């Protein structure tokens, strides 16, 4: 992921229709919705266009899932205690607030 930029991640999110904030489950849900719409076997679009869009959707999904699943979390007791005392919104903003995708 060394060559991934904030713009590339944001573009991937836009391909899937991801707003500024989303959970991994929401990313998966948007992926499934987009694939159901664009897959060449079911799309009402020109087959070549549907095929190209399916490829873009899959690449965007893979990039975002890789980004999300490789984020490092601390499991030190102090960090866990602090994190659990926060509201979910505060926890999210502390973890991802400055991030170009989620912040």
> How many structural domains comprise the chain?
1
At 55, which CATH number? 1.10.287.110
Asked whether residue 46 is domain-assigned, the answer is yes
pTM of this prediction exceeds 0.95: no
DSSP 20: S
Asked whether residue 17 is domain-assigned, the answer is yes
Asked whether residue 48 is domain-assigned, the answer is yes
Asked whether residue 1 is domain-assigned, the answer is no
Q: Which domain holds residue 42?
A: 6-96
Asked whether residue 25 is domain-assigned, the answer is yes
pLDDT in tens, 76-93: 988 888 777 776 666 667
Asked whether residue 50 is domain-assigned, the answer is yes
97 vs 27: which has the higher pLDDT: 27
- Model confidence band, residue 102 (pLDDT cutoffs 50, 70, 90): low
Asked whether residue 43 is domain-assigned, the answer is yes
Asked whether 47 and 32 are in contact (CB, 8 A), the reply is: no
Asked whether residue 27 is domain-assigned, the answer is yes
What is the CA 55 to chain-centroid distance, rounded?
16
What pLDDT score was predicted for residue 72?
80
Tell me how far apart the alpha carbons of residues 30 and 13 are, in angstroms, rounded to a whole number. 10
Tell me how far apart the alpha carbons of residues 58 and 49 are, in angstroms, rounded to a whole number. 14
């Amino acid at each position: 992921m060394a060559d991934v930029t904030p713009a590339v991640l944001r573009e991937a999110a836009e391909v899937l229709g991801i707003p500024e904030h989303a959970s991994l489950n929401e990313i998966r849900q948007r992926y499934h919705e987009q694939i159901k719409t664009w897959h060449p076997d079911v799309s009402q679009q020109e087959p070549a266009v549907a095929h190209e869009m399916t490829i873009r959707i899959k690449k965007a999904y893979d990039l975002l899932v890789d980004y999300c699943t490789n984020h490092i979390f601390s499991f030190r007791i102090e960090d866990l205690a602090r994190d659990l005392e926060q509201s979910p919104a505060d926890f999210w903003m502390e973890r991802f607030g400055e991030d170009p995708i989620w912040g």
